[in-house]
Structures are given as C-alpha cells and as structure tokens.
Structure 1
Amino acid sequence: MSAASDAAASDIPETVATYLRLRGLTPSSRSWRKKRRRGGDDDENVPFAPGRDPLGLGAAIAELTRSAGWDSVLAKEEVVLKWADLAGADVAQHSEPVSLERGLLTVRCDSTAWAKNLTYMRAVILTEIGKRYPDAGVENLRFIGPDVPSWKWGPRAVPGRGPRDTYG
C-alpha cells in the first residue's frame, strides 16, 4: 500500500475497512464519506426531538382520519349506528334512520303515530346528535311513516290510468 492509501485508510473506522476488504473493495476515505449521513440538516432524524414518540393505535387512527378528511363521514355513520343510544331503546325499536343527505336525517317509523310522536321529540334528539356528533352536520330531522302499498307497480301492472270506479 502507498502512503496516500494508508492515510486514507486511517480515516475509516476499522470495521468499515474490514467490510470493504472482504467485499473486495479498496477502502478509501472518499467512499466512506460519501455514504455517511449529513448531520444537522435532517431535523426529523434527531432522537428525542418533539413528535418522535410512538403513538397509541387509537391516536394513530384518529390522526389518519383527521388528515384524510374522514371525520364527517365517520360521524354520519356513527349517528346511524348509534341511533338506539341517541333516541332511546324504545324509540329505536319502532324507528330506523334511512338516509342522511345535505344535513337532513330521514327516519322511517313503524306507524304514522310513531312518526307524529317523534316530531314532538325532534328538538331533544337533534340537540343530542349535535352534542355527541358535531361533525355529522345534522341540521334537521324528518320522520316518515311506513311505506304504503302502491298498486302502480308489480308484475301485472298496466301502464296508463287503467280502469276507474273499481271499488264501487
């Protein structure tokens, strides 16, 4: 070895020089410095820096949903899923949320009597939704009765007005 290569090899740690020799490469300080990381420039790789602590699973998922903009979508789903908690167990047996569009939550009831009684409870239910799920964006409630049978649809329906005076 020449004097220049001895001087260059002395700058390299012995472990790196041994590794390079075993790989069949000539140890030089230039190749060693090229692969070293720069110090001071990279703030995110500094140990014990703020924000470097590991997060719990719940906090990581909350951060993901917030950064992806899923908060309002998930809050709307929670309103539908937790309807029994919001309205009460007795009310939930006779009603179910059907849709939530443009701030209007539509709830289908078993009977028109239940729909009418729930209109009187609208303010209480709307306040509870706003308190628990403010990101859902529920501004109003609409209670509808059960679907009535339609005679215009079905396998034997005829287009047009059809016969009149059928029932007397």
Structure 2
Amino acid sequence: MSGVDLARVALRAAKEQARARGTAAQQRKQARRGGGLRSGARSDGRDPLPLGSAINRLITERGWETPAAVGGVMGRWPQIVGEDLAKHCVPVRYDEDPRERVLTVRCDSTAWATQLRLLAPQLVARLNADLGQGTVRMIKVLGPGGPQRGFGPLRSPGSRGPGDTYG
C-alpha cells in the first residue's frame, strides 16, 4: 500500500470517528433538553395513530369488545329488527353478567311487548350471529311505563290506571 492509500484510509477513519462523536454529542444535547430521540422519516411506536385505530386499540386493551359491539347494536337497532318493530320497541340496557347476558327492551304498548316476546328466540339468534355466540342469552321485554301512581285526595289506593296499556 502506498502512502496516498494509507492517507485515504486514515482520513476516512478520522471522518467516521468525527461523525460518531458529533452524533453522540447531538444525542446527549437532545437528552439534556428533555427531547430524547426524535422521530425520523420512518414509522415507529411514537408516531400518532388515526383516531379509529387508537380507539380500536383502547377497546382491545381494556377488554371492552362486547360492550362496544352491543353499543353498535343499539345504534343499528332498526336494521336488525326492522323498521316497524323499531318504531315501537327500543333497547334500553345490556347487562353483562357472565351467567346472564340480558338485553332489556322497552315497548310502547303491551301488544308490541307480546309480539317481541314471541320473536325473542329469533332475535337472540340474530344478535348472536351478528355479535358472536353467547353475547346475548336472553331478551327481557318491558311494557310501557305508565304514569307515576300517586295517592292523594282524588285517588283511591286500589286503582291501577287506564287499563292494559300500562301493564
């Protein structure tokens, strides 16, 4: 190897050492400022996520898959049960007890409540097909909530109200 080649090799080694010292100094300087390493052009774990991905990750981490799916059912109720039934019956609550996973539905008349009780097995099958097997085990059907029965000077204690619409 000639002297010129040795000089080139030495110069290249010196440049690499200077570059390494400069990078290390820059990293120390950023660490002192509290910035740490900065994100580069390539993606890493510190990059921001789209909102949908962040929400899906949060739902998965917290174990909220079933309540989120049931909440979706509440929003898509007319598509699941049909427009006619959805006009008269509204989902109220979902109780996620491991033994009893109950969807509570309130109807606006006793006739619609009876109709929904007859359709309950098919509706449970449809919901489980949509949400996953065993998500809903029972549908609790509530009739219409009548007015509060107050007892006063103009009411007798045994009167129930205007017939079967509130039962």
TM-score (norm 2): 0.58
The 5 Å alignment of 1:21-100 reads 31=21, 61-100=55-94
Whether the aligned pair in 2 keeps the contact of 1:115 and 1:143 (CA below 8 Å) is: yes
Distance 1:165 1:125, change over 3 A: closer
1:104-141, CA deviations, whole angstroms, 9 ceiling, x for partnerless residues? Answer: 11111010010001111001110110011128822110
1:18-57, CA deviations, whole angstroms, 9 ceiling, x for partnerless residues? Answer: xxxxxxxxxxx7x4585699xxxxxxxxx9xxxxxxx987
Distance 1:67 1:136, change over 3 A: farther
Match of residue 13 from structure 1: 16
Q: Distance in 1 between matches of 2:57 and 2:87?
A: 35
Over 4 Å off, 4+ runs: 7-10, 32-37, 55-61, 162-166
Match of residue 128 from structure 1: 126
Post-superposition offset of 1:73: 2.0
Report the secondary structure of 2:115's partner residue.
Answer: helix
Report the secondary structure of 1:126's partner residue.
Answer: helix
Look at both structures and tell me which one has the larger radius of gyration over its CA atoms: 1
Q: Distance in 2 between matches of 1:68 and 1:165?
A: 50
Q: What 5-or-longer segments of structure 1 have no aligned partner?
A: 1-6, 17-28, 38-46, 48-54
Q: Distance in 1 between matches of 2:113 and 2:136?
A: 18
Q: What is the Cα-based RMSD across aligned positions, in Å?
A: 4.2
Q: Distance in 1 between matches of 2:92 and 2:52?
A: 29
Q: Does residue 142 of structure 1 match 2:140?
A: yes
Match of residue 109 from structure 2: 111
Across the two proteins, how many residue pairs are aligned to each other? 128
Q: Distance in 1 between matches of 2:138 and 2:90?
A: 15
Identity over aligned residues, as a percent? Answer: 27
